[in-house]
Amino acid sequence: MSNPRTFQIQEISAHPGPVPGAGTRLEEKVCKYIDVTTCIGCKACEVACVEWNDHPFRETTFNDTYQTMPSTEWNYYNLIKFAEDERDGNLMWLLRKDQCMHCEDPGCLRACPADGAIVKYENGIVDFQQENCIGCGYCISGCPFDIPKFHPKTNKVYKCTLCSDRVGQGLEPACIKACPTGCLKFGTKSDMVQIAGLRAKQLQEVSGFADAGVYDPPSIGGTHVIYVLHDIKRPERYGLPANPVIPPSYTYWKWLAKPIGLWMGLLGIGAVFFHRIFYGPKLPEPEVPELRTGPREEIDAGRKEQP
């Protein structure tokens, strides 16, 4: 794909005033917008996801809710989570479309030890490259949202790709295309944040949800999937962590302590090598005379370094 800026007009002959469109920039960051308040739990997005990714329909698990299965799976990237809540003494259903959040600071990528198994694109999509995955599962423990799922047959980990294959061709993700209520939108991050802000304001002012807000957690640099929630003060009600974090062992330990450890190992090898050079061997005493070529005194004097 050519850089769209290449043919941006820079100078114009005999043109009065500034160059039209100067300074315009392509917004590269993409974002998925999920308005949980208008989701009806139809699961069209689940079906679209399975179809687009060519996954077989897997067995569902019934556990007294309308949820298809307890959590997302290696071949089921997208799941509507049903939670029951109470509001003014009445039942309230919380329906949240659960999938990869495409964090700006991805814990899975920080934790991964395999070269090239996880990439993050300029547009913010975090994508797994299964051909480079070694199946260690570190990404699972690096993720604050419990999204990467291990497939025991292939020993690889899978998750939502934000339909990077569709987005690369200028299409919206499959789940967005399938959504009948418009609670899912896809566009640039700034547009989605703006729309989400307006919707949250509408919920506060018109619909009586005083605590409505946008979930775009700053603790991981924001996410490329944002939610409009009825109550931003208690995201746990929807199964979202209020303050998602990456374990420090995958950030500080990996990029600071590990190189230090390696250098110490190398220094150790160097140290024993030069120890031998500086101090010589510890031989069984007395040394065997047959090995000598001259009188003892001369050899001893030769062994001592002369100033």
Partner 1 sequence: MSSTAKDFDEKARGEFARFGTTRVRRGELLRHPVYTRFLHWSVAIFFILSLSTGFAIYSPWLFRSIAPLFGGGPWTRALHPWFGLLFEIFFFFQFLNWVTPMAWTAADRRWVKRLRAYVTNKDPLESEEVGFFNGGQKLYFWAIVLSGILFLITGLLMWFDHLAGRWIVAISYVIHDLAALLMLAGFIIHVYEGTAHQPGTFRSMIDGTVSEAWAWTHHPSWFRSVTGRDPREAYEREKQRQERGS
Q: Tell me which residues touch partner 1 (CB under 8 A).
A: 111, 113-115, 117, 132-138, 140-143, 146, 150, 155, 247, 249-250, 253, 257-259, 261-262, 264-265, 268-269, 272, 275-276, 279-286, 288-289, 295-296
Sign of CA dihedral 254, 257, 262, 263: positive
DSSP letter (8 states) at residue 58: P
Half-sphere exposure of 284 (CA within 13 A, CB side): 3
The CB-of-128 to partner 1 minimum distance in angstroms stands at 14
**Amino acid code (one letter) for 196:** A
Smallest separation, CB 221 to partner 1 (Å): 19
The nearest distance, CB 280 to partner 1, in angstroms, is 7
Length of the chain: 307
**Closest CB to partner 1 among residues 132, 188:** 132
Cα diameter, the chain = 106
DSSP 2: -
For CA atoms 221, 226, 231, 235, the dihedral sign is negative
- Tell the smallest beta-carbon distance from residue 273 to partner 1 (Å): 8
Beta strands 213-215 and 225-229 are antiparallel
Q: Between 138 and 209, whose beta carbon lies closer to partner 1? A: 138
Q: Are 166 and 173 in contact (CB under 8 A)?
A: yes
Residue 230 exposure: Cα atoms within 13 Å on the Cβ side: 18
Token pair of 159 as six digits: 């998750």
Smaller CB distance to partner 1: residue 282 or 304?
282
- Among residues 197 and 247, whose Cβ is nearest to partner 1? 247
**Cβ distance to partner 1 smaller for residue 130 or 204:** 130
Which residues, including other chains, have CB under 8 Å from residue 18's CB and lie 6 or more apart?
Answer: none
Nearer Cβ to partner 1 (23/281): 281
Q: What is the CA radius of gyration of the chain?
A: 30
CA dist 72 and 162 (Å) reads 14
Closest distance to partner 1 from the beta carbon of 118 (Å): 12
User: Tokens at residue 12, please?
Assistant: 């114009």
The rounded distance, in Å, linking the Cα atoms of 198 and 196 is 5
Kindly state the smallest distance separating residue 294's Cβ from partner 1, in Å. Answer: 10
Rounded to the nearest whole angstrom, what is the least distance from the CB of residue 206 to partner 1 in the complex?
Answer: 39
Would you say 108 and 118 are in contact if contact means Cβ atoms under 8 Å apart?
yes
Preceding omega of 286 cis (within 30 degrees of 0)? yes
Residue among 17 and 286 whose Cβ is closer to partner 1: 286
Q: Which is nearer to partner 1, 206 or 288 (CB)?
A: 288
Q: State in angstroms the smallest separation of the CB of 104 from partner 1.
A: 20
